[in-house]
Amino acid sequence: MRILGIDPGSRITGFGLIEKDGNRLIHVDNGAIFTRSDAPLSNRLKTIYDGLTGVIADHAPTMVAVERIFVAKNALSALKLGHARGVAMLAGVNAGLPVAEYTAVEVKQAVVGYGKAAKKQVQQMVRVLLNLPEIAQEDASDALAVAICHAHCHHTNSLLT
């Protein structure tokens, strides 16, 4: 099973691809899609969508996992983030892929074993679990964590439905 994890953001959207082979997790690719903060939101969303559809076309994941994010800084930020999440989910659905969502607490619990783990702890565990030579770029590392969460939780979730 090849999983595309996505950490959506209106300025930077991280992505991470892993392969699950039995109990092994294998790093495939990771990166980030950067948008221009001075560009109109509609153009930024198109950049995110085009970037994710390119990643899907290049790497042929079998499923997508997106972080379910809650931001309370201000209403406008929350709306922009919601748009980015929607575009990320749409890219997966339009490719005919199942899309799962996980909260930050669920991701931290699955990766570190503690739902209130610090960001650095999550990044370090992602590096260790995927045998990476260094910690990935912050948004890409978060996306890899979402993919790892799905790899650990997918079978359990399918038993519950």
Give catalytic residues, as residue numbers.
7, 67, 139
Q: Distance between CA atoms of 57 and 59, rounded to whole angstroms?
A: 6
Angle CA 122–10–3, to nearest 5: 50
- The predicted pLDDT at position 71 comes to 62
Burial 59-88 (b: 16+ CB within 10 A, else e): eebebbbbbbbeeeeeeeeeebbebbbebb
**pTM, 2 dp:** 0.93
Mean of the per-residue pLDDT values of the chain:
92
Mean predicted confidence (pLDDT) in 102-130: 94
Mean predicted confidence (pLDDT) in 109-130: 94
Report in angstroms the alpha-carbon separations of 132 from 31, 61, 95.
13, 20, 28
Mean predicted confidence (pLDDT) in 98-119: 94
- The predicted pLDDT at position 160 comes to 39
**What band does 75 get if pLDDT is binned at 50, 70 and 90?**
confident
Q: Domains, the chain, ranges and CATH?
A: 2-160 (3.30.420.10)
Torsions phi, psi of 112, nearest 5? -105, -25
Q: Distance between CA atoms of 33 and 68, rounded to whole angstroms?
A: 18
